[in-house]
């Protein structure tokens, strides 16, 4: 009896180990990532090449070098046959395939494999709701019964989901219906959002952009360091009175706000387009110049003009966040408004916290040391950022 119990436990342990091994090395699944716009849906399809080869052959995984160049048209024709969105009453949507690329994926769970990434867009018939439809999709799955397709939303402005976020909102899984042995059309019914929800999220995005933007926070603090001081013999002298200091700060901050608001709008609507790298280098330069000014006045009585000019540069960096969202005109206007409002609220929060402390310290004999030390630290950081961004 003991012998049988031992054998039973041994078999059970082997089965558990085998199950754990399968769990640790699952086959890679496909993924469909959706971006919901006002009049169409765009997105990205991620297909493991080993699974795709099992479905269509052609050696797409064994000979993946220059795959798109060799078999691009064949792959597009195959995909269009198996991506068939339609309305609930059966009317087909139009589907367009765009860029296709092959990437090497490294995964602890699935091991290393190659993946075909396909950008696509699809549009419903006129007057039909794009938030409710059947996503009749069976790429790979029509031949590989164990395959699964994960469907998720990466962007939906009306519900406050933006492509800037690291996480996706899961919609569901397309797989084989085992009892019937069929692949049923996958129903997508997205919650209705609102303009207010979208605006709220853009305000939060503006707040988050400043919270996570160390360079912008340090730039604001650098502007504050000498804002309450008078210039005496080409040096920073004693502190001005509270009312005059506050008024001077308001002028500087307002000029910076006007500057970055202008280029935020122009950059977002793509009337001005500059590469990201030069903009990031110029932002580091603005911090470096402001730090020199905080150490010793280099543009006294022109702080308002300089702050406005620097704001133009920072606004172009802010605009980069909104340019790739593919929003409608109404959504874009509200996004610019909300994002800018979020930036201003966060800047105001920093100023409200820092200015009274700096104003109090400026009345003490220790402030010149504090100001110069802060300015030197800013110079070092700005120089480091500038060199790092030039090298990238």
Residue 312 has pLDDT above 70, yes or no: yes
Residue 390 has pLDDT above 80, yes or no: yes
pLDDT score at 61: 93
pLDDT score at 297: 94
Residue 8 has pLDDT above 50, yes or no: no
Is residue 2 packed enough to be buried (19+ CB in 10 Å), middle (13-18) or exposed (0-12)?
exposed
* Averaged pLDDT, 240-267: 88
Residue 383 has pLDDT above 50, yes or no: yes
Give the pLDDT band of residue 162 (cuts 50, 70, 90): confident
Percentage of residues in the chain having pLDDT higher than 90: 51
* Averaged pLDDT, 248-264: 90
Return the percent helix, strand and coil in the chain, to nearest 5. Answer: 50, 20, 30
Residues 6 or more apart whose Cβ sits within 8 Å of residue 270: 323
User: 190: closest CA among 346, 49, 336, 41?
Assistant: 41
* Averaged pLDDT, 108-126: 89
pLDDT score at 148: 94
Ranges 164-173, 201-210, 259-268, 344-353: which has the least confidence? 164-173
Percentage of residues in the chain having pLDDT higher than 70: 91
Q: Distances in Å between the alpha carbon of 3 and those of 7, 8, 11?
A: 6, 9, 12
* Averaged pLDDT, 83-108: 93
Give the pLDDT band of residue 17 (cuts 50, 70, 90): very low
pLDDT score at 160: 84
For residue 180, is it left (φ>0), alpha (ψ between -120 and 50) or beta?
alpha
* Averaged pLDDT, 246-263: 90
pLDDT score at 18: 38
Residue 246 has pLDDT above 80, yes or no: yes
Residue 351 has pLDDT above 80, yes or no: yes
pLDDT score at 242: 84
Give the pLDDT band of residue 165 (cuts 50, 70, 90): low
How far, in Å, CA of 355 to CA of 223, rounded?
10
pLDDT score at 27: 59
Residue 94, beta-bridge partner list = 123
pLDDT score at 7: 45
């Amino acid at each position: 009896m003991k012998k049988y119990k031992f054998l039973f436990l041994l078999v059970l342990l082997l089965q558990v180990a085998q199950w754990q091994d399968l769990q640790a090395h699952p086959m890679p699944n496909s993924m469909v990532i959706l971006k919901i716009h006002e009049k169409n849906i765009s997105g990205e399809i991620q297909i493991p090449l080993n699974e795709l080869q099992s479905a269509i052959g052609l050696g797409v995984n064994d000979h993946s070098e220059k795959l798109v160049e060799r078999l691009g048209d064949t792959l597009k024709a195959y995909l269009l046959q198996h991506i068939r969105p339609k309305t609930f009453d059966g009317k087909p949507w139009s589907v367009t395939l765009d860029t296709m690329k092959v990437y090497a994926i490294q995964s602890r769970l699935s091991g290393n494999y190659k993946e075909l990434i396909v950008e696509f867009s699809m549009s419903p018939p006129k007057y039909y709701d794009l938030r409710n439809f059947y996503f009749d999709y069976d790429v790979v799955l029509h031949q590989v019964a164990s395959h699964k397709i994960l469907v998720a939303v990466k962007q939906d402005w009306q519900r406050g989901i933006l492509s800037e976020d690291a996480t996706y909102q899961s919609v569901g899984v397309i797989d084989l219906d085992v009892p019937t042995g069929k692949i049923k059309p996958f129903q997508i019914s997205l919650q209705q959002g609102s303009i207010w929800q979208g605006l709220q999220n853009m305000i939060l995005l503006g707040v988050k952009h400043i919270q996570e933007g160390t360079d912008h926070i340090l730039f604001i603090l650098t502007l504050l360091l000498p804002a309450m001081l008078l210039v005496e013999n080409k040096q920073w002298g004693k502190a001005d009175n509270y009312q005059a200091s506050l008024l001077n700060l308001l002028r500087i901050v307002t000029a910076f706000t006007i500057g970055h608001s202008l280029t935020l709008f122009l950059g977002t609507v793509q009337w001005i387009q500059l590469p990201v790298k030069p903009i990031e280098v110029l932002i580091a330069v603005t911090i470096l110049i402001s730090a020199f000014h905080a150490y010793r006045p280099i543009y006294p009585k022109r702080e308002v003009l300089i702050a406005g000019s620097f704001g133009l540069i920072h606004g172009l960096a802010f605009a980069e966040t909104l340019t790739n969202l593919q929003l409608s005109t109404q959504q874009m206007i509200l996004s610019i408004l909300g994002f800018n409002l979020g930036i201003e609220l966060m800047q105001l929060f920093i100023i409200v916290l820092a200015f009274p402390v700096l104003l109090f310290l400026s009345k003490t004999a220790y402030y010149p040391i504090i100001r110069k030390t802060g300015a030197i630290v800013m110079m070092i950081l700005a120089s480091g950022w500038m060199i790092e961004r030039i090298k990238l």
